[in-house]
Amino acid sequence: MTMVKAKGRWSKVDLESGVEDATLLILEWLGEQGVGAMIRVDAERMQEGRPAWTFAAGGGPLPGGGMRADGASVAECMGRALIRLREAGLTVPF
């Protein structure tokens, strides 16, 4: 999960934005920017009731270590990922 650096609280994610519908377009756009990215679901974490969705990205204009975002749903995961990408200087046009 992403924390807002300046205020030290969890960032707000818009779960009604429809971001899960645009996920493949976002991944394709990131690839065009030179960023390798993926989204995955972890069945074990899902069975344990933990956030099972993970977005990971690296390369291109992202800082050296890349980035990761987790969420309990695709919408939450991708919402957090978009916040992290924006913090890294990439504003995804979706």
C-beta separation of 73 from 15 below 8 A: yes
Residue 8 has pLDDT above 60, yes or no: no
In this predicted structure, what is the pLDDT of residue 10? 44
Flag whether pLDDT at 5 surpasses 50.
no
Three-state DSSP at 54 gives strand
Q: Phi and psi (nearest 5°) for 65?
A: -80, -5
**Residue 19 pLDDT more than 80?**
no
Q: Look at residue 34 and give its three-state secondary structure.
A: coil
Decide if 72 contacts 9 (C-beta within 8 A).
no
Instruction: Say which amino acid occupies 16.
Output: E
Mean model confidence pLDDT for the chain: 85
- Give per-residue pLDDT as tens, 79-94: 999 999 999 999 998 7
- Distance CA(56)–CA(40), nearest Å, equals 9
Q: Could you tell me the pTM of the whole model?
A: 0.78
